[in-house]
């Protein structure tokens, strides 16, 4: 049993690192929590404990670096938070399985978006986002928020795509704002799951400890490593490919 919890802790650290850089660590954490005996809805709520702590650590690390000015990012944060609250409430009322079934399709579409003309992700752009402060961009952030509140898994990929390709933030800045957005809705969303008694506090706090360590390492890497944007992009592609592999159970074709 002790060795099992050591493995869970190590996996939690890796998930925190991945979530800070690109997101989608919940695609691993949710099945892990369910493998530990939690029902899907309780696993969904318990996962929010780690999400809150790791995004808090990652956001504070980014902001202390004084390299991530907030600017006018609030306008992209607010619709996401509102959508997340709606999504979280829906998640406590209905079976999330039907939405999870669509994640594989969405990730395949996202993979094509990311791989087509990769240079778009590295064009230097103004971080103000003023040029994209349009109803469509606000609607996109609201819908992403609903998804994040509902199930969280994979939301980092969609946030990065929305912030870089839609809102026109540069990749590094979008990565930091992504964390701040998730932090902004993580606590009120967690309260909704607590209200519905869908949180296992022991497993939530245990995995949150590991994820916080990983989040700190990930934020330090993103801030101080010269080629962090390039490696974060590569990790993003790897996470999406791994997620597709998981959702479609492609490992079955490699077992003889």
For 185-213, the pLDDT digits (tens) are 999 999 999 999 999 999 999 999 999 99
pLDDT tens-digit profile of 46-102? 999 999 999 999 888 877 776 566 666 677 888 999 999 999 998 888 766 665 666
223 pLDDT more than 50: yes
CA distance 51 to 192: 14
CA 79 to chain CA centroid, nearest Å:
16
68-72, 137-141, 163-167, 193-197, range with the lowest pLDDT: 68-72
The ranges assigned to domains in the chain are 2-254
Provide the CB-side half-sphere exposure for 233 (13 A, CA). 18
Using the structure block, give the residue that is written with the tokens 């809150």. 52
For residue 72, the model assigns a pLDDT of 65
Check: CB of residue 21 under 8 Å from CB of residue 235: yes
Q: Which of 25-34, 73-82, 178-187 has the lowest mean pLDDT?
A: 25-34
Instruction: Please state, in angstroms and rounded to a whole number, the distance separating the CA atoms of residues 11 and 17.
Output: 10
- As a whole number, the mean pLDDT across the chain is 80
Average pLDDT (138-159) is 86
């Amino acid at each position: 049993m002790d060795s099992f919890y050591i493995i869970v802790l190590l996996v939690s650290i890796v998930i925190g690192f991945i979530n800070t850089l690109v997101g989608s660590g919940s695609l691993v954490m949710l099945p892990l929590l369910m493998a530990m005996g939690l029902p899907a809805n309780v696993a969904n709520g318990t996962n929010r404990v780690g999400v809150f702590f790791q995004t808090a650590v990652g956001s504070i690390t980014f902001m202390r670096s004084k390299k991530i000015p907030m600017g006018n990012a609030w306008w992209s944060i607010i619709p996401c938070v509102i959508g997340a609250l709606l999504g979280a409430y829906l998640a406590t009322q209905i079976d999330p399985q039907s939405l999870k079934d669509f994640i594989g399709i969405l990730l395949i579409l996202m993979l094509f978006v990311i791989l087509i003309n990769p240079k778009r992700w590295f064009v230097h752009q103004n971080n103000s986002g003023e040029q994209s402060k349009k109803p469509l961009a606000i609607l996109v952030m609201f819908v992403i928020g609903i998804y994040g509140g509902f199930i969280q898994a994979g939301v980092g990929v969609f946030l990065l795509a929305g912030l870089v390709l839609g809102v026109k933030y540069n990749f590094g800045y979008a990565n930091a704002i992504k964390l701040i957005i998730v932090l902004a809705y993580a606590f009120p969303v967690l309260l909704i799951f607590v209200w519905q008694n869908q949180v296992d506090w022991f497993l939530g706090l245990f995995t949150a400890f590991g994820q916080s360590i990983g989040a700190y390492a990930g934020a330090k890497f993103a801030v101080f490593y010269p080629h962090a944007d390039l490696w974060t992009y590569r990790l993003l592609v790897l996470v999406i490919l791994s997620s597709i592999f998981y959702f479609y159970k492609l490992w079955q074709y490699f077992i003889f």
